[in-house]
Amino acid sequence: MRQGETASKGAWIGSASGGVKAPEPIILPDAGLRFSRTAERLEQLADGHAAEGWLAFMAEASRAQAAAAGSLSTLRASDEAAIAQAVAARLPPLAADGHRRDATWREGLAVMLESFDATMFPPSAAATIAELRRRDAMETERLAGAFLRGGVDPADAGAAFWIAAALQVYFTGRSATLRVGDLRLLERRDLCPCCGSTSSASVITASGPNPGARYLYCSLCSTAWHHTRAVCVVCGGSRTLSLRDFDGDSGLARAETCDECQTYSKVFYQAKDPDVDAYADDLATLGLDMMVGEAGWSRHAPHPLLLVS
């Protein structure tokens, strides 16, 4: 099943003649639509936003990602034997820290840097792109490895933004070649079943075959997977969970805080806005991160494009 498609199969809860369909455990991304949809949503959210200029920058970056994703549309299918072996061992078949990247990811990076219109933004944006273009393949690969291992030097933060964005395109393209029937949820339900990365945020569905189901969205390969509601993404606890948002807000975005592990994760409610996008809306609600962070909770995982926790 791909994001945006209707599930073709699934178990029914209740009688065989009807009832609520059990949530699909894994939804693979549509690599051709993922980044363009995020860009469109960011453009919509930027209008009148307090961080309008920054969201416009992120929208343009997502447009560049969409261009790169289109250029890599002929990615080869992943090795079936390796996938089966990893799944049998309850490991992610595209493990971010062990996957052997091929040169296509750097081709995507080059397309991104060429597609991004830096003239609309401060000179520092063009300077960062120019500096990254001067790096050779070995240095670029070194930085990619450092990002995937979570060890980027602060001095490389500007270049790492584009590296991370290109790796999102690459891993999304790779996960889109998998067959959902070959995959299984991991024992650690907070990790992506395709690449083993953490999620950006979660969405509570309001339409389709599974209204009310909660899906986590992978921060790297864009896969979505089902996660039980009212259960902490980090520690699995439920006794001290609370949902927090700004007074008077629409209720679209909430922070699910856990006092057992002192973390929080963001939850978006599709019923409040059918156009919600886990990636765009996460960026547009950083004020919520600041509010709960100041109150003492830590984000459940770093944001890959912001390199913050």
pLDDT tens sequence across 30-88:
998 999 999 999 999 999 999 999 999 999 999 999 999 998 755 565 667 778 888 88
- pLDDT value of position 256: 97
Domain contains 77: yes
The candidate with the shortest Cα–Cα distance to 233, out of 270, 197, 189, is 189
Residue 162, domain member (yes or no) = yes
The total number of structural domains that make up the chain: 1
Contact 62, 41 (CB under 8 A): no
Question: Residue 90's pLDDT is what?
Answer: 86
Q: Identify whether 15 is part of a domain.
A: no
Residue 7 CA to residue 205 CA, distance in Å, equals: 14
281, two tokens:
């809306």
Whether 42 maps to a domain, the answer reads no
Supply the range of the domain harboring residue 116. 48-175
Residue 209 vs residue 115, higher pLDDT: 115
Please report whether residue 215 resides in a domain.
no
Model's pTM, two decimal places? 0.90
Asked if residue 153 belongs to a domain, the reply is yes
pLDDT digits (tens, 9 = 90+) for 234-265: 999 999 999 999 876 889 999 999 999 999 99
Task: Report CA torsion sign: 150, 87, 72, 33.
Answer: negative
Does residue 107 fall inside a structural domain? yes
On whether residue 201 sits in a domain, the answer given is no
DSSP state of 117: -
pLDDT, residue 12, reads: 36
CA torsion, points 288, 294, 299, 303, in degrees to nearest 10?
70
Three-state secondary-structure class, residue 280: helix
Q: What pLDDT is stored for residue 10 in this prediction?
A: 41
